[in-house]
Chain A
Amino acid sequence: MGQRSTVNDEHSSESDGGAAALAKIVMFVRSRTSPSSLRTPRRLYSTGQANTIRTFEKDSRWPGWQVIIGIEVHAQIKSREKLFSQTWAPDLGSTPNSHVSPYDAAFPGTLPVTSRLNFACVNLALRTAIALQSDIQQRSTFDRKHYFYSDLPAGYQITQHYNPIARGGYVFLPKSNISVCIEQIQLEQDTGKSLFEPRRRLLSIDLNRAGIGLMEIVSKPDMRSPEEAGEYVRTLQALLRSVGAGDGNMEQGSLRCDVNVSVNRYGQSPGTRCEIKNLNSVRFMMVAIGSEVHRQIAMLDTGKSVPQETRGFNEDTGETFALRSKEEAPDYRYMPDPNLPPLFLTEGHITSVRKEMPALAVEIRERLAHRGLTHQDIDVLMAVDSGNEIGFDGRRSQGAVAYFEALAKGRNSRTAVNWMIHELLGQLTQRKKAFHENPISQERMGSLIDMVQSGIVTGSSGKLLLRHMLDHPSSEPLTELGERLGLLAVRGDDFVEHLCLQAIADMPEEANAVRRGVPNVINKLLGQVIRASKGRADPQSIRRMLQKQLSSP
């Protein structure tokens, strides 16, 4: 590089604006194309992979046509904090703009915070990736996606365009009996929310949501009918809930879908796709796909071609409508974020997340069946509180299954499940309370069962005690509580002996019948003694005492 020119004059192009400056750079790029000292920069991204091949299946709604559907799901990650700021995520119904830090509002001078990057978000994305059998990337990076919209104050959204956190994977749909492949999972920031009030002609911006962690889960175009698309989203919802990654609620917007639909005549190459946005439920999504398929077929049937565009969905008419054409589509100008270092995940970290994975539904069923529970019992336990066993940030909350398993530890499973389902859940339902409102700890519930089993209280006293515990939550030791309420079983034989003698004296006819050898009549005497003891005496010992007294001469 022998003789060198001076360092260029940065501002020489002031007079003729950007043109000269650009030309300079064009020259620089051209000059860079030949020397071997500079290899072509490594591309920051990989090219797409081939679609999954599926055999054509006829659909009587559109005979001779094949429908190809791919879905991008945006799922809000169930974390207490936002992704790059320590702001608390809002609850449903939080006052607008009450959970906003200067960073969330893109104030000049603010920067994303990564020294305390919300690792709960990362770990929940990893759980999702593991559940989807995706290939977790030990190095992923963050990029800026630029577009102008009033609910995006910075003018860009941080996402993972070039190097996502996970690639590949699949979801199996049992009803359709197909697997839908996953392209990639990327971490990104949610935007704010804009609410338009037509009557006041007022657009309001709520930044509470801005900066919350999102996962974008991109499927391959593997679905062939609205039903498959519906099953895909429902399966994904269940999966997200089971690993605690998200609520997956479309109506509340914690799960949003963009659906790509194209049609082609059987045997021909795939048609031009249209993207449908802003779908608020699985049902609407299926209606929108159906209507979009009919629209595209009608166009092709009349010899027109389908233009590539983004479409909205009108819930009242059940039809899609054009939002913007391909020409109007924004160029997002993806740029590696200069503030955010790459996210490195060690093998050890991924393994620890794998170990902490909540069990999938199939595994839980198997475990419970192994403990000797019936299918009905398992169904009941798993349906409690919609099976939502995991709280914010992936923390295990006290779900019914976990409660049962703690209860069954060192106890008879059948006894434990009977107490839990028939007594505890039954009493909670009567009180119109959800399981997470249950005031009785598993330790206390366990002691109650133990007291009944060891005869300290009788079964019926135990049930009374449980009701009292539900209505008057306290930490008073159960034996003291039972004592205070006069519910403890009376162990002393004197007491039982006395009551039995009393009963025999009160019911001479029955007593004589037993003595004469009619054994069943003893039950009448037994009932009398139980009533007299107010349930505090154990029926077995009463029977034994009566038999002893009546057999003696």
Chain B
Amino acid sequence: MTVAVKDNICTKDMPTTCSSAMLRNFKSPFDATVVRLLNNSGATIVGKANCDEFGMGSLNVHSVHGPVINPFQHPSSSVKWEERERRSAGGSSGGSGAAVAAACVMRNALATDTGGSVRLPASYCGIVGLKPSYGLISRWGVVSFADSLDCVGIIGRDAACTSKLFDILSVFDERDPTAARPTTREKARELCSEHMAEWVSSDATDLTNLRIGIPQEYFPTSLDKSIVSSFRRVVRALKHRGATVLPVSLPNTSYALSAYYVISSAEASSNLARYDGVQYGLHVPLPPGVKRRILLGTYALTADAFDNYFLQAQHLRQCIREDFMRVFRVPNPLARMKTAITTATTTPHDPAGVHVLLHLSAVRTAPLLDSDEQDGLHPSLAGLPALSVPIAAGAEGDGWPLGVTVVGQWGCEKMVLAVGASIEGVKREDVLGGE
């Protein structure tokens, strides 16, 4: 197995620059836990992958190594590959995404996801990206952007190889204070297989009894028609295979981005305090995106603003988390722990609820590199597993890849990956789409 590793994950034998001039010459004295696990499993790390500086960005253009150019080229295109249209590979894990999409030998890459940095490159590059449940893969050795959101993500050619790598990396590590305990993992595994048994059968194309929720708030009226019709085709195909597709509501969705922005900036301002050019790094100015987050986060944490911004954002985060818990059929394995911590009332799971949620990974296909078009993200405030799988582009679109995201209950990676594999099947049997 050959794997590329995002450059904000520490490696002993290679530099770890976080794509920042600040850490241009930095070499970590230790390997991140995920790197150690890769080495132990016999994988070869071929190199470090470009990313947005410290993982902050969604186009992978803010990098000391230059922007990442999306390797995709439509089969019908007649121009040389080197002269293909210069579109973004997505960010912040653009390097990881492009590496898997372009290289024939490499099926996997490690990435990180704080607010969509795995799912967006996956969607733009036409590959699979998994942001696992928060706490399942060790963060020891991952350079922190926002600790309460950061996850190590996996990018792969398909759901199967993504699943394989997830099994290698998803182990308890006592060096990560936020790692889920083995008992919690076991509980999640049991709940997941218990509920998968409701619909998984020997016939992989039969999805009878699988309940899929479509969050209504994720489909604004402004969404491009061609994109919506591609999504509809996937939904129709899944229905055709027997899945029950239901509309669900996540009422606090519109506040997600604001809450995400306050929390991630506040944590970033704290985590990046060490890069002052004295303790770590070189004395270089930070790019505007990073600087903006630090200033904003610093402001949100000042004594005068803390209650109005940081605490409000934390409260919203809890509301958003509860939105998700209300719609899932699978109970939350962390429920008891969470009540103890937040003393907030958790909603009991709904037996009539859905197994997974399905929505578009991005509101558009890859934008041009030099455009200022940027994609919105569905930030992962609830710490749930989310898998982006490519879907067939409709004839009405621009021919560039697009992904859909499958979201599951905490610890339901196997379920999310199984549904992802079904969607891959749909793509291959595109003919079934006509209804």
Contacts and interface: CB of A to CB of B under 8 A. Distances in A.
A548 interface: no
A106 B274 contact: yes
B29 A102 contact: yes
Contacts of B255: 28, 32
Interface of B is mostly: loop
Contacts, number: 191
B257 A8 contact: yes
Contacts of A110: 140-141
Contact of B257 (A10, A156, A340): A10
Contact of A338 (B30, B147, B288): B147
A5 B312 contact: no
Interface residues of A, number: 59
B23 A108 contact: yes
Interface string B54-73: 00011100000000000000
Given A146-B273, A150-B278, A18 B296 contact: yes
A108 B10 contact: yes
B109 interface: no
A144 B252 CA distance: 29
A111 B58 contact: no
A331 B274 contact: no
B258 interface: yes
A317 interface: no
Interface residues of B, number: 87
Interface string B273-303: 1101011100000001100100110111111
A198 interface: no
Nearest to A153: B279
Contacts of A18: 292, 295-296
B308 interface: yes
Interface stretch (B124-132, B215-223, B388-396): B215-223
Interface string A142-156: 001010101001111
A362 interface: no
B223 A108 contact: no
A115 B175 CA distance: 7
B208 interface: no
Nearest to A1: B251
A107 B258 contact: no
B18 interface: yes
B376 A8 contact: yes
Contact of B376 (A3, A9, A114, A154): A9
Nearest to A105: B279
Interface in A186-213: none
Given A4-B253, A155-B273, A11 B58 contact: yes
B270 interface: yes
Contact of B273 (A1, A41, A112, A154): A154
Interface of A is mostly: loop
Residue among A25, A44, A107, A335 with most chain B CB within 10 A: A25
A43 interface: yes
A532 interface: no
B280 A108 contact: yes
Contact of A116 (B29, B174, B279, B299): B174
A24 interface: yes
Interface string A32-53: 1000011001111000000000
B430 interface: no
Contacts of A146: 270, 273, 301
B174 A9 contact: no
Contacts of A338: 146-148, 178, 267
B223 A109 contact: no
A476 B127 CA distance: 77
A28 B252 CA distance: 12
A342 B343 CA distance: 13
B222 A6 contact: yes
B312 A41 contact: yes
B227 interface: no
A44 B315 contact: no
Contacts of A6: 220, 222-223, 363, 376
Contacts of B13: none
B278 A24 contact: no
A154 B274 contact: yes
A176 interface: no
Contacts of B79: none
Contacts of A14: 288-289, 372, 374
Contacts of B341: 341-342
Interface in B29-67: 29-30, 32, 57-59
A14 B371 CA distance: 12
A431 to B, nearest CB: 48
A22 interface: yes
Contacts of B311: 41, 43-44
Contacts of A10: 58, 115, 257, 261, 374, 376-377
A21 interface: yes
Contacts of B306: 333-334
A107 B29 contact: yes
A32 B312 contact: yes
A109 B16 contact: yes
Nearest to B372: A14
B314 A115 contact: no
Interface string B240-263: 000000000001111111100110
B176 interface: yes
B376 A108 contact: no
B143 A111 contact: no
A25 B310 CA distance: 11
A108 B16 contact: yes
B147 A12 contact: no
Contacts of A477: none
A252 to B, nearest CB: 26
A221 to B, nearest CB: 21
Given A1-B217, A14-B289, 20 more contacts: A1-B252, A4-B253, A6-B222, A8-B258, A9-B374, A10-B115, A10-B376, A10-B377, A14-B288, A18-B292, A21-B261, A111-B176, A111-B178, A144-B270, A146-B273, A155-B273, A331-B303, A334-B301, A335-B266, A341-B341
15 contacts: A6-B223, A10-B374, A41-B307, A41-B312, A44-B311, A109-B16, A111-B140, A111-B175, A114-B177, A115-B174, A115-B175, A155-B276, A338-B267, A341-B177, A344-B340
Interface of B: 9-10, 16, 18, 23, 26, 28-30, 32, 57-59, 115, 139-144, 146-148, 174-179, 217-218, 220-223, 251-258, 261-262, 266-267, 269-270, 273-274, 276, 278-280, 288-289, 292, 295-296, 298-303, 306-312, 314-316, 319, 340-341, 343, 363, 372, 374-378
